[in-house]
Amino acid sequence: MKVLLVGNGGREHAIARALVRTSTPEQPVSLVVQAGNPALEQLGRSLTMDPLDPKDVVRRATSEKVDLVVVGPEAPLVAGVADAVLDYGIPVFGPTKDAARLEASKSFAKQIMADAGVATARSFTCTTMEQVEAAFDVLGAPYVVKDDALAAGKGVVVTTDRAQASSHARSCLSRDGGAVVIEDYLDGPEVSLFCFADGATVVPLQPAQDFKRVGDGNEGPNTGGMGAYSPLLWLPEEATQRIVDEVAQPVITEMARRGTPFRGVLYCGLAMTSKGIRVVEFNVRFGDPETQVVLERLDSPLAPILYAAATGTLAKVPAPVWSEDAAVTVVMASGGYPGRTDIGHPITGIEAAEALAGVHVIHAGTSEEITDALVNSGGRVLDVVARAATLDEARALAYRGVGLIHFDGEHHRSDIATWPADLAVTLD
Ligand code: GLY
C-alpha cells in the first residue's frame, strides 16, 4: 500500500515509524512524506508540499498514485484537505472539514455532546466580556477559558486568577467573530483515548496519559505535551469499553445522523472525576506525544486499519493487537518553550541514545537546513521513546536516553510516567 502522510512533526514521525515497523511482506507499505523533518524523510520518499493547500495535497496524491492519504495535524483537516482528496476518489484517513468541527469549534463539540447524551463539564459560550464575567460568577474558580476556535495548543487557560482568566477571554474575543467557552473545572486524572472510526464503527486504541504543563509537579504554563506513557496501571480495565460506549460511539453515531460522518481518529480527552467519566475535549487527529507511546505498543499492521477507517470497513478487519510492554516518552524542548524559543543549537547524542536497546528518538522540531548540522528548530524538539517490560524500566530507559542527548537551552520534565501513590479511580 502506498501512503501519503501529510504533516512533518513528531506525531507524523511516530505514525510513519509505526507504518514501517508493522509493515509485512504480505502487506508491504511504502511512504511518501512531507519534507522538512530530517528523520521522517529517512522513512519514505519526501516531497515539499503545502499541507494547508488542499489542491497541493491532491496534486501530490494523484501524481504519486497513492492508495491512501493519512493526515496528521488538525489544521489541514480544518482547511478541507480530506474533502479535496475524497473528491478525487482517493481514500483519506482524517475527517472532512464539517466533521473536523469537533476540534475546530469547542461550542460545536459541546452541542454534539448535548445531542448525543455525552457527559462533559457545564459550560457557557460567550461572545462578550459581560457574558464571560457572568459565567465566572456562576461557575467559580478554577476558571477554565477555552478559545472557541483552533489556537495551536494555546487556546486553553485554567487558572484561579480571575484577572488572568479575563485577560485570556478578552484576547480570544478581540478577533473578528471571536467566542470563548467558559466551563466548570473537572477534577480527577486525565486520560487520552484514541478511537479509530469509519463513520459508524468505533475501534479503541490503548489509553495513555499526557503531561501538559511545562514543569515538574504540573507547574507552569500549558504546553503541547511534555511526555506520555501507556499503559495506565491505575485505570480500571473496563474504562476503555466504558469510554467507547458512553463517549466515542454516541458521538460517531450523532455525527453520522447529522450527515457528517467522522472517519479517522477521534481523540477523546477525558477526566476521571469523582462523578464519573467526563469529556474535557475532542481532537480529530492523533495526540502528540501520546501517539509516540500508543503506536509503540501496537503489534499488528497499522496501514490496513487506517485504510479500513478511511473506507468504512473497520468492522471487517481484525482488531489491533497490543503488546503487554510499557512505553514512555520524554519530550526534550528548546530553551524558552512554551514561550519564545531559542533555536539553532547543534544536537548531539541521538545515536548514543538509540544504541540503547528499546530506545528510539522521534524528531519533532529539528532541522538540517539552518546549518549543515542537526539543530533544534521548534519548541518541542525530540521525543525520547522507550519500550520495556514494565513502566519502571521504560521510564528509567527513556531518561537514560535523555541523559545522552544535548543541545544548548534544552529542558525536560523529570517526572514523566509517575503518578501519586494514592491515585485510585473507580468508575461509579
Ligand atoms: N497532547 C495533546 C494534544 O495532542 O493535543
Convert the pLDDT of each residue in 370-401 to its tens digit.
777 999 999 999 999 999 999 999 999 999 99
**CB-based contacts of 48, cutoff 8 Å, min separation 6:** 34, 35, 36
List of residues 6+ apart from 12 with CB closer than 8 A: 5, 6, 33, 34, 37, 40, 72, 73
The pTM of the full predicted model, rounded to 2 decimals, is 0.95
Give the per-residue pLDDT at 233. 96
Neighbour count for residue 114 (Cβ, 10 Å): 12
Q: What is the rounded distance in angstroms from the CA atom of residue 67 to the CA atom of residue 424? A: 45
User: How far is ligand 1, taken at its centre, from the CA of residue 364, in Å?
Assistant: 13
Question: Who's near 157: CB < 8 A, 6+ residues apart?
Answer: 143, 144, 145, 164, 165, 168, 222
For residue 61, name the pLDDT band (cuts at 50, 70, 90).
very high
- For residue 278 the three cell numbers come to 467526563
Measured from the CB, is residue 288 less than 6 Å from ligand 1? yes
Phi then psi dihedrals of residue 166, to 5 deg: -65, -40
pLDDT tens readout for residues 197-220: 999 999 999 999 999 999 999 999
Q: Which three cell numbers stand for residue 224?
A: 503541547
C-alpha cell of residue 274: 469523582
Compute CA distances 142 → 52, 193, 341, whole Å. Answer: 36, 25, 29
**What confidence score (pLDDT) does residue 6 get?**
98
E-state strands within 260-315:
263-273, 276-283
**CA 274 to CA 426: how far, in whole Å?**
8
Using a 10 angstrom Cβ sphere, with 0-12 exposed, 13-18 middle and 19 or more buried, the burial of residue 176 is exposed
Percent of the chain's residues with pLDDT above 70: 100
Q: Is 246 in the pocket of ligand 1 (CB under 6 A)?
A: no
Please choose from 283, 293, 295 the residue to mutate so as to test ligand 1's pocket, defined by most ligand atoms within 8 A of CB: 283
Rg (CA), the chain: 21
Q: Does 74 contact ligand 1 (Cβ within 6 A)? A: no
Give the cell for residue 258. Answer: 447529522
